[in-house]
Structures are given as C-alpha cells and as structure tokens.
Structure 1
Amino acid sequence: MKMKNPPVNRLSLDFLTEFSIGLEKLEIDRVCRGIILTSASPGIFSAGLDITEMVGKSAEHYTAFWRAVQEMWLKLYGSNMVTIAAINGSSPAGGCLLALCSDYRIMADNPAYAIGLNETQLGIVAPFWFKDTMINTVGNRVTEQSLQLGQMYPSPDALKIGLVDQLVPEDKIQSTAAAIMTKWLTVPDHARQLTKSVMRKTTIDKLVKQREADINNFVSFITRDSIQKSLQVYMERLKQKK
C-alpha cells in the first residue's frame, strides 16, 4: 500500500476512510497475506493527522473524524496480515502511529528523517491507545519521556530506542521490506495470527470498550477555545514556513 495524499500524506477524514476500506478489502482477500506500507511522497512517510480537520469544524465533524482515526488503528493494529512499514521519510504524530501499528518497521538511514509522537508540541495530547501502542514497542519510560516532550527521533536514535527495527539506504527500503516479508510468510499463518492476537488483544479491547468515551473526550478537548487557538497558531507557523 503506497500512501498518496500529496504533498505530505496528511490523514484527513477522506484519506482515513479510504485507508480503512482498502485494508478491509485486503483482509478478506485470502490471497493477500501481508502488506508493505510506504509513501509515494519523497522524504515524508506521513505528516500525521490533518490539522485542518480539527480546527473550526462542528462537533459532528470532530466525532466523524475521530471515529475514522480509531477505525484506522483498529484495522491496522489488529490486522491478521503481516504488516511491514517501509518508512521512506519523516513520520510525526499520526504518521508514527501508522508505523507503530506494523509488525516490523524499516526506516531510511537518513538523520534528516525523524519519527515520533510529537502531539504536545502542537498543544494537544496523545490518547491512551496511542500511548499504549508506543509502550508495547519501546517500553514505559521511553514512552513517558517521549510523549511529554513531544520528542522526534532522527532515524539513528529511533533505531537505538527500538522505535524502528532496521535502518537501510533509502534505495534499499522496498527490496529489504520484500525480503523481510518473505521471511515472515514462512511462518504458518494460523500460528502467527493467533500469537499476534494474544499479544495485542488487551490493548485493542481497551479501546473497543471505551470507544464512545474516547470520542467524547476528544470532542470535548478539541472544542476548547484554548486548544483551537493553539492549533490555529500552529497552522499559521506552517504557512510561514512554506
């Protein structure tokens, strides 16, 4: 799956919906046993959640948007397929979450590319299931520090803390991902799938049970005047950089 929402693969409501539908189709296609997730945009894997979806909209829109974010995570993190992230660029916030959902993460060996859950830098807070996904990958202490600081890790540092599994030259990402996929597919599907389910079930069930409360918390938070102003300031900074 090659993400193509130029220029930076922002996770908009439409993109998230299309992404989840695409995953669901592949999931029910028994011929497809695994996916390599990458980007069609050079230098950027995904810039994360589309800020414009969270500013100046109605409560109904925020509800629909957050439900789509949840759905993407539930489908990708809970997928029976082998999922490999071929991270060919920077991957902040929601882009990092996409990578964390995968079974294996390969990143371009380029210190200019960084990855992390940097929500606090935008004045917002990563929800508990973002946090749990990162804890399951790098442990509690690294996650706590990373989330509080909104830390972005250049690729060598991301490898050191286990946020990614392997660094390779950018032109070798796809071939490496294909080789890793071949290795993973030698394991009998039923055994691997059950093992993955056992490892991730508690984390997934936690959101499923609290899904509506999580949506309500997001809408309540994002509609605060202070949060709206903070996001508007961030958007203005992005415009100035352009």
Structure 2
Amino acid sequence: MSNGTLLVLGGRSDIGLATARAFAAAGWDVQLAARDAATLEAEAKDIALRHGVAATCHEMDATDLDSHAAFYDRLSPFPQVVVCAVGALGDQARDEADVASATAVMRANFEGPASLLAHAANRMEGSGTSTIVGISSVAGDRGRASNYIYGSAKAGFTAYLSGLRNRMTGKGVHVVTVKPGFVATRMTEGMDLPPVLTATPDALGQAIFTAVAKQRDVIYVKPVWRLVMAVIRAIPEALFKKMSI
C-alpha cells in the first residue's frame, strides 16, 4: 500500500489517535479532525517528530451537519483514506429517560458519521483508489436491553457502511466496516471488561491499517466476537426477550 494522507474524523479519541500513529509509522501523513482541534497540536507534533511525517489538526464538529461540506473544502491535500472514529457511548438508563439525550447519542453514532462519510465518498468517487473506514460496533448486531440506544445507532451505521460499500464497488472507493467489541479506552474506563474480549487502542489501530492494506470488507478486531455475536443473533426472539444481556 503506497503512502498518502490519512484523515481521522474523531482524532481526539484513543482509537483515532492509535490509528493515526499506525499509519504514520508506515510513512503516511496524518490529518486529525475534531472539535477544539487546537488542543490536539501537541499530539500532532509528537506524531510528526516521531515518524517524520506531516501531521495537521482540523476543526470539525460531527454533529453540525451543515458544516461538513465546508470542512472538506478546507482540507488540503484531500486524503486517500478517511477513518471515522466519531462516537459516544452514552448512558442507557439516562438515555431511556431523556429523549434529548438519546437523540444526541444517535446523532453522534449514526447521523453525524454518515453525513461526514457521505461527503467524503462523493468527493472520492472516480478519483482513483481511496478507502473509507467506519468504526461501528458489535452492539449493532442485535438490539439488547442493556445498550439498545447506542446499539441501534451503530446498527444503522453498519447498514449505511454496507450500502455505501455496495454503491462504491467499481468506483475507486473501498469501504471497510470495523467492529471492535470492547476497547480499553477513556470512554470505557472504570468498566469491568473481560480481557479475552477486550482490545487495546493500539491493536485496533494496527487492525485498521491492515484492513485498509488488504482491502477487507468487515472485520471483528477480536475474532472471538464473530462467534459470540453469531450465537446471540441465533437466539429465538421468544427466548431472547426474557434474557438480560
């Protein structure tokens, strides 16, 4: 895979930064996009010095849909790979009680990312070999009472990425869907995560780099999750609705 420019949407996240470092280690220039992007200057400088690449910061608000076209207009150069690491876990109990809070979670995990990638795809189409990576979740594989608001948004995003991949096949743009499972990040700090099902941000960043290089379609970062979710999806609804998982 020849070197180029990587854009990370959600560049402040642990996953976004780990992905940027994985690409930079292979000689890729990096663009980090997030709200209050100036606060990422130290991270960008570290990446640039450590790997001898260009690393820049770009102001971007995933939930401000009307700003997305102008955001891409300001990018120079335009990236060959776009990774969307935007998302918000939310709080299921709070989101059940507060519709506005639930709406914010769904916008952060589906509407905003889908809009950002729609603009990217339209600009990449016909430009050559480009790649879009969307970080979804195993939580979208089946709705569960414990996280169905977050999970439903990720289910929508997974379906969106699948349709985008189908549309872009043969048009010079490949689309990768990433399903990490549990990841040990600031967002999950304090949660009791089973080690066998939990990835590190660095492992996830490297998995994304490999998926782009090998043009994978859908990856479960921890392969065991593919089996776990296959079992969960296979449970009959009459039984499933009585379970607490």
TM-score range, shorter chain: under 0.3
Q: Which has the higher helix share?
A: 1
Could you state the TM-score of these two structures normalised by the residue count of structure 1?
0.26
